[in-house]
Amino acid sequence: MTLLNLVSTVLLAAEAVEPKGGLFDINATLPIMAVQFIVFVAVLNAIFFKPLTKAIDGRDDYVREQLITAKERLEKVEILTKQYEQELASARKSTQSVLITAQTEANKVRNDRIAEAMAEAKSRVTIAKAEIEKQKQNATASLDAEVESLSRQVLEKLLGNLVNS
């Protein structure tokens, strides 16, 4: 006989022996329900819970890997940020020094050009003064000659009238 036939025979015999209608009748239904519950739990475990727990574990692994990767990337980003900040600071310092050097050179060139312009202006003023002095002397000499000529003419006219009279 099969196991199922044997169980059903035992259950029928147990039903025939026991009185029916009590508050807590313990008959063959209770073990059948227990067996059905265990089979149901085993089927649920095989069909539903194992794939579900596998999916949950896979998701946990994925999240854990992503967190580790994110932490590594964050550390790399922080290192790169510090490096770039240092490079930026050194670039600012070098730019500042270049600007100061350029300003110094520009001031030197400006001062040199101003000095050259002042020297040229002074030389032109000196040349102009010398020319003016030369022209003054020439004019004075010319005027002296003219004054002398005019004075002779005046004297001749005056003296000529005295001499002629």
pLDDT in tens, 131-163: 999 888 888 888 888 888 888 888 888 777 665
What pLDDT score does 155 carry? 80
- In angstroms, the Cα distances linking 67 to 35, 54, 118 are 45, 20, 74
In a domain, 149, yes or no: no
Containing structural domain, residue 40: 36-123
Q: Within the chain, what is the greatest distance between any pair of CA atoms?
A: 203
In a domain, 28, yes or no: no
In a domain, 114, yes or no: yes
* Cα gap 106→116, rounded to integer Å: 15
- Mean pLDDT across 30-39: 86
- In angstroms, the Cα distances linking 78 to 6, 61, 74, 91 are 74, 26, 6, 20
What pLDDT score does 158 carry? 78
Tell me the HSE value of 57 on the side-chain side, using a 13 A CA sphere.
Answer: 6
Using CB atoms within 10 Å of the CB of residue 31, give its burial: 0 to 12 exposed, 13 to 18 middle, 19+ buried.
middle
In a domain, 15, yes or no: no
In a domain, 152, yes or no: no
Q: What is the mean pLDDT of the chain?
A: 84
In a domain, 74, yes or no: yes
Higher pLDDT, 12 or 164: 12
How would residue 31 be classed by pLDDT, with cut points 50, 70 and 90?
Answer: confident
What pLDDT score does 78 carry? 95
pTM: 0.42
Q: Which of 38-52, 56-70, 106-120 has the lowest mean pLDDT?
A: 38-52
What pLDDT score does 19 carry? 54
In a domain, 25, yes or no: no
- Total domains, the chain: 1
In a domain, 116, yes or no: yes
**How confident is the model over 113-139, as pLDDT tens digits?**
999 999 999 999 999 999 999 888 888
